[in-house]
Amino acid sequence: MSKILEQKCVQATNIVAQKSQCVSLIAVNKDKKTVQCSVCFKEFSKKKYLMRHISIHSREKQQCCVCLKIFLHESQLIKHMKIHTEVKPYQCSECLKELSDKSSLVRHKKIHIGERYQCSECLKEFSIKSYLVQHMRIHTNEKPYQCSECLKEFSVKSYLVQHMRIHIEKKPYQCSECVKKFTDKSSLVRHMKIHTGEKPYQCSECLKKFSIKPHLVQHVRIHTGEKPYQCSECLKEFSDNSGLVRHVRIHTGEKPYQCSECLKEFSDKFRLAEHTRIHTGEKPYQCSECLKKFTIKSTLVNHMRIHTGEKPYQCLECLKEFARKSYLVLHMRIHSKEKLLGVQNV
């Protein structure tokens, strides 16, 4: 019983500490006539708005059970879940494309209207104004979003949100095999399947097995040819949302992932992971024939062709075959020169 009372006392003390902190901040910002949150430094015109806001930081987070993305409000989670459930109640009257929410439909319709936003520096055009705003920061080097913990700056708010998880997320669930930590038990259970080799989800077409259902859903689209995610800039379609997100950065020029060693920036975390191995010397991919190790999987695939004799790239002019695409490209120059000399001789 005393333990319970002790816990309640600690909780009460925390609440009192929070309130007294708010009062002291009112005095600091008296000239501005604003009150400030001590966690995220957001300012409010009235104390009651600040007190309401503070609950956001202590509130229980809403987490997607499929991709584990975290939301502050339940309404945001419900809207997000439509991506996974494929519920798309909003339809474009022009091309009949279906979308999960009204705001996505409004953005999509701009493709048909032809409305464009142009960069004054490089004249590049965008169909969505927010893309232009993000792009302009390449020229201005503006990074308006700052981490309150380590003061690192970001050009896009979503990159700051992603970064903040380093500081605020607790990971109490640890894998007994590789010591990797997770924020919730379900993530740990899914991860453990890597070590146990359990793959309960099977494709009915090719019988390939997967450890988690979202990977199966994504894989099935190879057979159906379904590409439900479309780029609003160039209309290129993708089978999964992550592919679209990575692609959009080609248009915006954003490179949110930075190497902590040499500060080189990358558009996606997979390229950063590959690059980091240059500094660590890690070579996780090994040839089963000669045991040679490689830092990148594609390099191992190319190397394996030495043992298998496979040459998948063929010249359309002379039908000569090559193990690597780069060798074919180099070879094609021979024919280009031959054609050029033929024209000159005529």
pLDDT at residue 59, as a whole number? 53
Task: Show the tokens assigned to 81.
Answer: 């879940």
Give every CB contact of residue 200 below 8 A, 6+ residues apart in sequence.
209, 211
Instruction: Give the chain's length.
Output: 346
Average model confidence (pLDDT) for the chain? 76
pLDDT of residue 254: 82
Identify whether the C-beta of residue 17 lies closer than 8 Å to the C-beta of residue 45: no
pTM: 0.41
User: By C-alpha distance, which of 172, 209, 202 is closest to 187?
Assistant: 172
DSSP-based three-state secondary structure for 219? helix
Instruction: Inform me whether the pLDDT recorded for 272 exceeds 60.
Output: yes
Contact 72, 83 (CB under 8 A): no
Q: H-type helices in 266-324, by residue range?
A: 269-280, 297-308
Can you tell me the mean pLDDT for 258-262? 85
The pLDDT, as a whole number, for residue 61 is 59
CB 313 within 8 A of CB 324: yes
Mean pLDDT for 172-200 is 81
Closest to 263 (Cα-Cα) out of 250, 249, 247, 275: 275
- C-alpha span between 162 and 68 (Å, rounded): 13
Residue by residue, DSSP assigns 92-123 as -TTT--EESSHHHHHHHHHHHHT--EE-TTT-
Instruction: Please give the DSSP secondary-structure letter assigned to residue 51.
Output: H
State the amino acid at position 18 in one-letter form: Q
Task: Give the residue, 261 or 61, on which the prediction is more confident.
Answer: 261
Residue whose structure tokens are 């705001």: 103
Give the integer Cα–Cα distance in Å for 24 and 19: 9
Is the predicted pLDDT of residue 324 greater than 80, yes or no?
A: yes
- pLDDT tens for 94-131 read 777 777 778 778 877 777 776 678 888 888 888 777 78
pLDDT at 132 over 50: yes
Domains in the chain: ranges and CATH: 16-54 (no CATH), 285-345 (3.30.160.60)
Classify the C-alpha dihedral 243-245-249-255 as positive or negative. negative
In the predicted structure, residue 290 carries a pLDDT above the cut 90: yes
Q: Quick one: pLDDT at residue 159?
A: 76
Asked if 171 contacts 183 with a C-beta cutoff of 8 angstroms, the reply is yes
pLDDT at 129: 79
In this predicted model, what pLDDT tens digit does every residue of 140-164 receive, in sequence order? 878 888 777 777 788 877 777 777 7
What does the pLDDT read at residue 17? 38
307 with 290: CB under 8 angstroms?
Answer: yes
